[in-house]
Amino acid sequence: MIRIGSRGSALALWQAEHVKARLRDLGHEVEIQVITTTGDRTLDRPLESVGGKGAFLKEIEEALLEREVDLAVHSLKDVPTALPDGLRLCAILERADPRDALLSASGGSLRALPDGARVGTTSLRRQAQLRIARPDLTLADLRGNVDTRIRRLREGHYDAIVLAMAGLTRLGRLADVSEVLDIDTMCPAPGQGAIALECRADADVTLRAVASLQHPVTERAVTAERAFLRGLGGGCNVPLGAHARADGPLLHLTALVASRDGRDVVRGTLSGDDPEALGGELARDFLARDAGRLLGS
């Protein structure tokens, strides 16, 4: 029996059920255990004040280490580059659309929003890039699961919100999308759109069970993105985006680091065939152009 640990949100459970179904197709017995995380419990404070996106992993990783579950299913963009001792990523599934989407009350695009429109997002990365594209907008925090965020938009609390295309696709909410934001306008978070599986480093049975779920093209792309993040010494709580696109054996890595107010930005693109080396080299280029100063802004 493979026991999957998952958060209880609709998106997290979709991802866990997807992995469960694929493992069952391979002949494994699987069950899901719902685990409530710090990030799920704490909705009245900014995410960065309770540990950033890692707050959605802490209790699940503790359950792995205590052998209460065998496998964790995460959105890779929420997973820090440094994992707790004794844990490892054991498979990266094929990535869905990595881009972000604008959902607006009027159905219009980002460019069409009226001056001063109120846009909801808690992501520092999205906030900085929205300020770059539309410095006139009024940005406001927005926490909660996908359905909660869309409901608050429909109730009139916001003129627009920004969500990940991958989650909207998986939950069947593409009809709510007003505009898919291109990579140049809204560079995604490293790993966005990919599902990551985490297990104990010594869990040989689990490692063998999930090995065939690995998607090599996605794994190479997100390795470059996370190598860039790691090379900057950045966590998940900085205005940083990175997206790698495969072109045969080559990867084209595009990245952005911005100040929180969006006034200063460093952008860059680099190509190569070694994901780790590519991400590290682009990170060094960014640091040479003073991007480290922006990470602490």
Q: Within the chain, what is the greatest distance between any pair of CA atoms?
A: 56
Residues 6+ apart with CB under 8 A from 151: none
Q: Which residues are tagged catalytic?
A: 78
- Number of residues assigned to the chain: 297
Structure tokens at 123: 């992501």
Residue in 129, 144, 139, 132 with CA at minimum distance from that of residue 239: 129
Are 274 and 219 spatial neighbours (Cβ–Cβ below 8 Å)? no
Cα separation, 245 vs 26, in Å, equals: 30
Cα separation, 74 vs 60, in Å, equals: 10
Are 279 and 225 spatial neighbours (Cβ–Cβ below 8 Å)? yes
Are 12 and 23 spatial neighbours (Cβ–Cβ below 8 Å)? no
The phi-psi region of residue 248 (left if phi > 0; otherwise alpha if psi is between -120 and 50; otherwise beta) is left
Are 35 and 59 spatial neighbours (Cβ–Cβ below 8 Å)? yes
3-state secondary structure at position 202? coil
Structure tokens at 185: 């306008």
